[in-house]
Amino acid sequence: LPALLASRPRARVLIVGGNDVSYGARPTDGRSWKDIFLDEVRPRIPPADLARVHFLGNLRYDHFLALLRLSSVHVYLTYPFVLSWSLLEAMSAGCAIVASDTAPLHEAIEHDRTGRLVGFFDGDALVREVGALLDAPQARARLGAAARAFACEHYDLRTGCLPAQLRWVARLATPPACSPFAPGAKRRPRAPPRPTPRPVARPSPPRRRAAAPSSASFPVRPCWACWPRPRAARPRAMRGS
């Protein structure tokens, strides 16, 4: 940013986005990422140049589209992540895009065809490509037209994305030709059900009376309080009565 402002004394930098965190972690010192990065480059930016940097915060959708239409160069830097909808909006608006040469952008940005790609950490290349496009209105128009055509062909909801999703769902719902459930497929005849075996009546073994266990079967002396006691003998005085 300091080199870009120094090389382009009439350029204005418009930065869109709020101070809240959407995907990453919050700073541990309580500050916002905007304040952290701005404090990092502030010593190298004169106050007059810093006045040409505008933080617009979160914009309404119609205001965001108007901003894309009036911008000369759209700069988009990102780590390897998903392809952002804001990049697709910039392409559909016909912006001349300078983007980082990272994985998610290779799907939509082809160097010098739908945009310009630079190394994520190559600040000199970023300043060089932005300056080259600012000096070449014909190149900006060519890249913007190609970017819009690519976005309309591959990412339009009614003519691109939605029909592709419906075709994908239809393929999942239709079984392949080799499947036995495909229309017209010959199915193997079902095997006849196996006969249910009848239960066979078997005579039950005779019951045996369990013999009283002997004292030898006990590891210890049996408890006579629990063992059935023999019948008590009648007293002698009652015999013969």
Of 52, 22, 55, the C-alpha closest to 37 is 55
Mean pLDDT of 189-214: 68
Q: Render pLDDT for 100-122 as a digit per residue (tens, 0 to 9).
A: 999 889 999 999 999 999 999 99
Mean pLDDT of 17-42: 88
pLDDT at 12 over 50: yes
pLDDT value of position 81: 83
Taking phi first (over 0 means left), then psi (-120 to 50 degrees means alpha), and beta for anything else, what does residue 30 get? left
Q: What is the CA radius of gyration of the chain?
A: 43
pLDDT at 2 over 60: yes
114 in Cβ contact with 155 (< 8 Å): no
The beta-carbon contacts of 29-34 under 8 Å, at least 24 apart in sequence, are none
pLDDT value of position 96: 97
